[in-house]
Amino acid sequence: MATRHKAVKATLETGFATEWNDDHEINFAAEIHHKDVFMDFNAVNEWNLGQETSTTATTITLVGGFVAARLHAAGGAGNFSSIRHMLIGAPADITNHTALPEMTMAIDVQTPTADNATHEFGLFSSANALFAANQNGCFFRIDNNVLFAVSSDGAAETATNLGAPSQFAVYRVVHGAATDYFYVDDMVTAAATHTTDISGANLTMKLTCADRAGGDNYLNCQAVCLCTLRQTS
């Protein structure tokens, strides 16, 4: 998928050099980019399934003509399908607010059941219990078929109601020391901005869906990218 720009320009419209550099140049002295489009998925080296309790394992498959990591929560209420990123062969936290991590996800959600929290995806502490209250993180949640932007510092959380989720959308979280930003499709204007309950913990990329009383749930991730800032100027 194409990289979305932070600034939108009309044809022949001029802009700032900082916008051009930020959008078009990969400066490894300034940023680290990790991208996974799941075309060559290696669960052993890239993603950990250790928190998964679903009776149907996560697979890499074609969904609607796209290659995706397909999470399928099945086996009864309380079972989870989950993937979390690994470091050197083991699940681990790979970033925190000092690196200003920016995580972008192309997500296809197939009709979440309208009971309890059924999907969570974004940045979390690796060891967090799935769907636990007040998890350390900066993430999206689908609860009773409503999309929420969530910031949580491990003791309390701030959650903004973003309305009914679309089946397919591109989501982005930007996690800072004092502010979290959340984007849905529109990568220029934040759908939610939080300045309370900001996590100071180390975090990793994690995507999860839950089998609730309403039945099986699915989360198909076509692509995910994590960018971390290494300098401020």
Give the CATH number, domain containing residue 113. 2.60.120.200
Distances 204 to 20, 84, 154, 211 between C-alpha atoms, Å: 29, 7, 15, 23
4 within some domain: no
Q: Is residue 102 part of a domain?
A: yes
The answer to whether position 157 is within a domain reads: yes
Q: Can you give the pLDDT at residue 231? A: 47
Per-residue exposure over 195-229, b if at least 16 CB sit within 10 Å of its own CB, e if not: eebbbebbbbbbbbbbbbebebbbbbbbbbbbbbe
CA triplet 137, 138, 139: central angle to 5 degrees? Answer: 110
Domain-located, residue 22: no
For 16, other C-beta atoms within 10 Å of its C-beta total 9
Q: What is the separation, in whole angstroms, between the first and last Cα of the chain?
A: 28
- pLDDT of 36 reads 74
Query: Does residue 70 sit within a domain?
Result: yes
Q: Are 80 and 218 within 8 A, CB to CB?
A: no
pLDDT at 156: 97
In a domain, 62, yes or no: yes
User: Is 167 inside any structural domain?
Assistant: yes
In a domain, 116, yes or no: yes
Return the pLDDT at 18. 59
Q: What is the model's pLDDT at position 8?
A: 66
Enumerate residues 6+ apart whose C-beta is below 8 A from 25.
none
- pLDDT lower than 70: segments of the chain: 1-9, 14-32, 37-45, 230-233
Range of the domain at 87: 32-229
Sign of CA dihedral 143, 148, 152, 158: negative
Q: Are 118 and 143 in contact (CB under 8 A)?
A: yes
Count of domains for the chain: 1
* pLDDT given at position 158: 98
Query: In whole angstroms, what is the distance from residue 135 CA to residue 166 CA?
Result: 24
